[in-house]
Amino acid sequence: MIRLDGKEVSLSVRTEIKREAEAFTQAHGYPPGLAVILVGDDPASSVYVRNKEKACVEMGFLSRKYELPADTKQADLLALIDTLNRDPRIHGILVQLPLPKTIDENAVILAIDPDKDVDAFHPANVGRIVEGNYSFVPCTPAGIMEILKYYRIPIAGKRCVIIGRSNIVGKPMALLLLEQDGTVTVCHSKTENLTEITRTADILVVAVGRAKFVNADMVKPGAVVIDVGINRTPDGKVVGDVDYESISLVASAATPVPGGVGPMTITMLMRNTLTAAKRTAERKNQG
Ligand code: NDP
């Protein structure tokens, strides 16, 4: 079985982003800029934000981090987003989710200028993905598409099955595979005869959030298996939604956890920020 190495793909994409970012900075006199807002002190979120900041520095981007206390008022967060929406040096705005329960996540997503919405969660960007006419795609499904492209895995005409229908992974994943002419089925917790369906998949994407949920019995011989899951075991280890060892006997290729889909997500955030910066510059040039 081929190990689909997300670190390798990520390195290749980052090299390209870095080169393009340098060219952008030379041409415009300022770098692409990303603002990341963290509300509260959730340890996992803090790690994600730190890694995003590190990636920005590595890419030569401007990185601004806003760490707000957990009791921040929604109005104050919206005011900060409004300021960043109007800041010409900031091309991407990311509010780290989840937010404290006192803040309406939807209101926050709606407040971000869709042209700076590098997470692609704003309904305007979701609609553009549905239409197939988009600039940003949520980072995790975008990263999965990069892995498939890098390893030249054919999608057109293939049976693609996704387990999970979240707005950040399952649904956009379905649209991207459909756009590439895959024949797509989306499964969820109410799906009947799940194994029967997953065993038809040439490409199986698993985004359930349950450790080792998928085993060899659920996989068609020769299938490509993409594991999105990040689950922590009681001893602190990170495991995926797929039992990698078990499926390695039947699948033709699969992403490991860690080292598969995970490394791609922040890389695609960098790509979206660069795209946002370029689009803003183009609009300015057009007057
Ligand atoms: P959600 O919890 O939002 O969605 C899980 C989905 O799995 C739901 O659609 C749910 O169905 C479905 N599901 C749950 N149980 C079953 C079951 N028994 N049979 C079939 N379907 C089931 O999760 P996310 O999409 O946000 O994340 C999924 C996983 O991916 C998590 O482990 C998360 O940590 C990880 N993740 C990793 C990222 C990365 O960068 N690598 C980024 C984002 C997420 P229903 O809709 O009916 O409830």
Instruction: Name the closest-CA residue to atom 4, ligand 1.
Output: 166
Which residue among 119, 202, 227, 241 is the active-site one?
Answer: 119
Between strands 203-206 and 159-163, the pairing is parallel
Kindly state if the Cβ of 242 falls inside 6 Å of ligand 1: no
Q: What is the structure's pLDDT at 286?
A: 85
Kindly state if the Cβ of 49 falls inside 6 Å of ligand 1: no
| CA-based nearest residue to 277, from 151, 116, 164, 119 | 116
Out of 9, 51, 166, mutate this one to test ligand 1's pocket (max ligand atoms within 8 Å of CB): namely: 166
Instruction: Name the closest-CA residue to atom 17, ligand 1.
Output: 189
Kindly state if the Cβ of 173 falls inside 6 Å of ligand 1: no
Which residue stretches of the chain have pLDDT < 50?
Answer: none
Q: What is the structure's pLDDT at 33?
A: 98
Distance CA 199, CA 219 (A): 5
Q: In 3-state terms, what secondary structure has residue 161? A: strand
pLDDT digits (tens, 9 = 90+) for 143-158: 999 999 999 999 999 9
Q: What is the structure's pLDDT at 284?
A: 85
Tokens of 73: 């008022």
Kindly state if the Cβ of 262 falls inside 6 Å of ligand 1: yes
| CA-based nearest residue to 171, from 180, 162, 179, 182 | 162
**How far apart are the CA of 11 and the centre of ligand 1, in A?**
26
